[in-house]
Structure 1
Amino acid sequence: MVSFIQKITMAACLIGTFQVSVQAQTTPTYAFIEKISLPTGDGKWDYLKMDGERERLFVSHFDRVHVIDLTTNKQIGEITGLKGVHGIGLAKELNKGYITNGTDNTITVFDYNTFKVLQTIPVTGKKADAVMYDKGTKRIFVFNNGSGDAVAIDAVTDKVIGTVTMGGAPEFAVANEKGSIFNNNEDTNEIFEIDAKTLKVKNKYTVAPAGGVPTGIAYDASTNRLFSVCRKPQALVVMDASTGKIVQSLPIGGGVDAVVYEKELKLIMTSNGEGNVTIIHQDSADTYSIVQTLTTKPGQKTMVHRGTTHRIYLSGADYQADGKTLVPGTFGVYVYGPTVKQ
């Protein structure tokens, strides 16, 4: 005769099996789809920027930014004459874009419709790196990796209005659209919470000892969770954005740079320069599990995703036998996506 306790245990096991089965059915397997070749220029690459609404992808490439129409996967524009380009920020409501030039610490402002350069803004600091637009304040934030600060620009007037002093080496940043910007700091192994209006540091949260040097960062508004990817040790650190509490950490591949959060599929994906993407499922706000290690190519460490198709885009080029020298004319964007219909 089955006791009440045994019935409860059996029911719990069945529910757990059902949850695993549902997750297995709804979590797709990712695979390579195609390469978008961009053979002009053989310099280094960094950030990509996605505009899913207008079906455009902006790709940084040393002295230029390629603009791709995602309905055709063809280049429709090229912004040239840049100097050590790193990041691209879009103020779409103002029909403008902003590009960081790390070599001479300037910001190139371009017209979003024509891709024509409007002006170049010099900013204080060293190695202008990440850049983002904050809708709430209509400000562009430029993070200087070499001087430990961020410059705020009024996107309406394109005038510099202030500086955020942090120290260390600021990297990727993300906004919660509630007045705060979260920025990874490579030197201090911390996430800085910045008040977008006052330009003051509100909080500093350490990723140690769960993770080491933080690079990419993403945010889930529904659970108020930050996803910071780290090197040495290499890990995805999941953090409560309100308290800075680390709720879980998971191992990822080496040489990570970027991370994206796919909210519909509840996936966190990390692009690892060693040649793979770690794909992690969000089981709940505080529970995460690795579901796939996607093989890519060495050097593909920057990434964005497109929510409507759930595809991810990584930039890169082929290397010669020494593993360091680029093969001329091989640069492009590699597209990966689900292999099962959603």
Structure 2
Amino acid sequence: MSKTLCFIGTCLAVACAMSVASAKDAAAPAYAVSAHWNVGGPGGWDYLAVDEAGQRLFVTRGDRVAVLDLANGKSLGQVGPTNGVHGVALAPSLGKGYASNGKGDSVTVFDLKTLATTATIAIEGHNPDAIVFDAPTARVLTFNGRSHDATVIDAKTERPIATIALSGRPEFAVSDGNGRLYLNIEDRGELTAIDTKSAKVIATWPLKDCEEPSGLALDAEHGRLFSVCQNDHMIVTDARTGHHVASVAIGKGPDAVAFDAERHLVFSSNGDDGTLTIVRQQSADRYEVLANLPTQHSARTLALDPRSHRVFLAAAEFEPLPEKHEPHQRPAMKADTFAVLVVGPAGTP
């Protein structure tokens, strides 16, 4: 049965399950931390993005985006300055990249080859966080945490063309490459679907058994969405209907999730307990935890390279909080301890 037919729901559920039978029957590879790249430098971090074609890793660092060689972690340059950057979206077809500047209420446009800034786009939304390039419409969408909306930018004219009101505070988002985009609504425990051509919300679904969903990933073949939640669960949702499919136990403090479509594995990075939960997709509706791999405390965001099947996580060491501290006060990061951890199939560099 073809991938497309399974996704649009014209085949029986058992046929979709059979399409991942190889993942169920084959022995899953063991994973291990294979490298620890000492990147150093000041500043916190948020999202990471893999440039699969260029074999580069983009790491947001507040006032800049660090660009690393996926082979060895060496610096290849940086994008910036950026004002409170959260995320990076890549548009290889246009030769451009886009960085969401949370403190600047703007988007930095840069050349993918030279990394030089080519434009800065001001938006009306406040605190743009997640950012996605939607290839079918050639549009960039930012998801604005403070104003509870999304800004739609025409990537060709580099001008905002629409604002989409949302039900609450948006978190991570993914495009299915076929005109739909999905995002978590963190403060309401919801999942929203957007039609990227009309720039309108077409559905908002409650996420059962999920508190404060953050990271989101998509299995486009079977129409399954993976939301990681602060109550130590990963929720699997049917992208066609919004129906709850499964709830999977994960580590504490997740902030990102990735799906390896070739190996049918889901990875959740859990910063509070310093683990990477590895989940195997036995079928479109069945999931099992293979491991909670120790990584490093604070390793809460990740990116996956589909080519090598390696996972990249950002982490650092922190000073203890003073005995008397403000509520929600964050500890100071120890100087030059920022690092990228590389997790891959055991025996690979």
TM-score by length of 1: 0.90
Indicate whether 1:336 and 2:343 are aligned. yes
Indicate whether 1:327 and 2:305 are aligned. no
- Find the residue that maps to 1:312 and give its secondary structure: strand
- Find the residue that maps to 2:337 and give its secondary structure: coil
Name the CA shift for 1:44/1:241 in 2 (closer, same or farther; >3 Å).
same
Structure-2 separation of matches of 1:155 and 1:80: 19
Trace 1:76-155 onto structure 2 (pairs within 5 A).
76-155=76-155
Cα shift at 1:36: 2.0
Structure-1 separation of matches of 2:32 and 2:233: 22
Question: Sequence identity, in percent?
Answer: 39
Name the CA shift for 1:28/1:165 in 2 (closer, same or farther; >3 Å).
same
Amino acid at match of 1:253: G
2:64 maps to 64
- Find the residue that maps to 1:314 and give its secondary structure: strand
Amino acid at match of 1:237: I
Cα shift at 1:264: 1.5
Structure-1 separation of matches of 2:311 and 2:28: 15
2:235 maps to 237
Cα RMSD, aligned residues only: 1.9
Indicate whether 1:27 and 2:33 are aligned. no
Name the CA shift for 1:287/1:340 in 2 (closer, same or farther; >3 Å).
farther
Runs of 4 or more consecutive aligned structure 1 residues displaced over 6 Å after TM superposition: 19-22
CA contact (8 A) 1:282 1:288 kept: yes
Structure-1 separation of matches of 2:106 and 2:195: 24
CA contact (8 A) 1:31 1:337 kept: yes
1:191 maps to 191
1:308 maps to 307
Amino acid at match of 2:93: E
1:218 maps to 217
1:262 maps to 260
Cα shift at 1:301: 0.5
Amino acid at match of 2:39: L
Cα shift at 1:296: 1.0
Cα shift at 1:230: 0.9
Cα shift at 1:20: 12
Structure-2 separation of matches of 1:101 and 1:330: 24
- Find the residue that maps to 1:161 and give its secondary structure: strand
Cα shift at 1:24: 8.3
- Find the residue that maps to 2:298 and give its secondary structure: coil
CA contact (8 A) 2:24 2:283 kept: no
Cα shift at 1:25: 5.8
- Find the residue that maps to 1:115 and give its secondary structure: coil
CA contact (8 A) 2:24 2:281 kept: no
Indicate whether 1:249 and 2:250 are aligned. no
Cα shift at 1:38: 1.9
- Find the residue that maps to 2:213 and give its secondary structure: strand
Structure-2 separation of matches of 1:22 and 1:86: 34
Amino acid at match of 1:32: V
- Find the residue that maps to 1:214 and give its secondary structure: coil
Structure-2 separation of matches of 1:101 and 1:20: 43
Amino acid at match of 1:37: N
Query: Max radius of gyration: which structure?
Result: 1
Structure-1 separation of matches of 2:121 and 2:220: 32
Amino acid at match of 2:334: V
1:4 maps to none
Deviations 1:122-150 (A, max 9, x none): 10121110001000000000000111100
CA contact (8 A) 1:91 1:155 kept: no
CA contact (8 A) 1:28 1:340 kept: no
- Find the residue that maps to 1:215 and give its secondary structure: coil
Cα shift at 1:22: 8.4
Structure-1 separation of matches of 2:25 and 2:63: 43
Question: Tell me, which stretches of 5 or more residues in structure 2 are unaligned?
Answer: 1-19, 322-329
Deviations 1:269-316 (A, max 9, x none): 101111111111000000000010011111110101111211100011
2:285 maps to 286
Cα shift at 1:95: 0.8
Indicate whether 1:228 and 2:227 are aligned. yes
Cα shift at 1:73: 2.7
Structure-2 separation of matches of 1:213 and 1:58: 26
- Find the residue that maps to 2:89 and give its secondary structure: strand
- Find the residue that maps to 1:88 and give its secondary structure: strand
CA contact (8 A) 1:59 1:65 kept: yes
- Find the residue that maps to 1:104 and give its secondary structure: coil
Structure-2 separation of matches of 1:26 and 1:308: 19
1:54 maps to 54
Cα shift at 1:72: 3.8
Amino acid at match of 1:329: D
- Find the residue that maps to 2:93 and give its secondary structure: helix
Cα shift at 1:37: 2.2
Structure-1 separation of matches of 2:88 and 2:21: 39
